[in-house]
Structure 1
């Protein structure tokens, strides 16, 4: 591999990560800007998915990630920043990152909220040095009518994820594999 082709490969491989960081508060004015975005995303979620108010009222805490940007061309990545709120008060700020390799092309943006339904799940999240969303998450899936399932099973699950506000060229969005780290904005 020549130096020119290596350079071209490195630029092409790193481009999705540069695009993923755009518009996500990197270099922002800090916590105030993140809180404003979290407020907007929360209001949008409550307006479009009113059942999420039930989840919020019964949860020990809510991590709102108001804007996740993902991009990929074979190699992909995503980034976003948000806030953990307990009793509707911000207690910590978090970043979310993910990386993927495989058949993919395009970009998308979306928001998501993690509802910690038990104090134990919230404590586990807050005490971990880097929490990774796994396959054990319960998704409150939106039906065609725009309603979420907030049945007893969802309310007893330790962590419930709600993905909303999708826009872009990659079909589907999931929080599985997202890594969350506490940050100081």
Structure 2
């Protein structure tokens, strides 16, 4: 019942645009476009990503909720400018929520240990297996001028639609084959 409600909300909210799996080639293009968008929206974004040990890019994460909520998206792990693996992100939630949105997420690993721990995991749950600080910065501020105290930083951008309760906590990231 929960899955049916989730997919119905997605279909209605995005006028037929669904979160079904993309081909490897389409996903590769979407990942590269999301990185370009990130660089446009975040002052100093490309320089920041070059300093990272690696980063996950989820171009299209769909979230919908009506009391019961869910979210799903697919993306890739980028190391040294190359996509080295593919992953899905999924989460479910209960409580006050109403709406739907499509967003892009980039999760940046600032230390080699954080990246290695992620890559060794069978399924990485944010808040349990690793903590992700949501990046916040002012308009016009260069992201490279901010000192992050966490080894993993998440960026959520490109929202379409309105959704209460912005968080990455509880999201499970799992390796997938493409």
The reply to whether residue 16 of structure 1 matches residue 6 of structure 2 is yes
The corresponding residue for 1:180 is 173
1:130 touches 1:179 (CA, 8 Å); kept in 2?
yes
Displacement of 1:148: 5.4
1:83 touches 1:93 (CA, 8 Å); kept in 2?
yes
The corresponding residue for 2:30 is 37
Change (3 A) 1:146 1:173: farther
2:98 touches 2:164 (CA, 8 Å); kept in 1?
no
The corresponding residue for 1:138 is 133
Displacement of 1:77: 0.2
Displacement of 1:149: 4.3
The reply to whether residue 166 of structure 1 matches residue 159 of structure 2 is yes
The corresponding residue for 1:153 is 147
Displacement of 1:19: 4.3
2:43 touches 2:140 (CA, 8 Å); kept in 1?
no
- State how many pairs are aligned: 171
Displacement of 1:20: 4.5
Out of 81, 100, 114, the residue aligned to residue 121 of structure 1 is 114
In structure 2, the gaps of 5 or more residues are 12-16
- The TM-score normalised by the length of structure 2 is 0.86
SS of the aligned residue for 1:173 comes to: coil
- Across the aligned residues of Structure 1 and Structure 2, the Cα RMSD in angstroms comes to 2.1
In structure 1, the gaps of 5 or more residues are 1-9
SS of the aligned residue for 2:67 comes to: strand
SS of the aligned residue for 2:147 comes to: helix
Change (3 A) 1:171 1:157: same
Out of 44, 57, 69, the residue aligned to residue 51 of structure 1 is 44
The corresponding residue for 1:3 is none
The corresponding residue for 2:72 is 79
**Partner deviation per Cα, 1:77-105 (whole Å, 9 max, x = no partner):** 00000010100101000000000011111
Query: Based on CA coordinates, which of the two structures has the bigger radius of gyration?
Result: 1
- The TM-score normalised by the length of structure 1 is 0.83
Change (3 A) 1:58 1:170: same
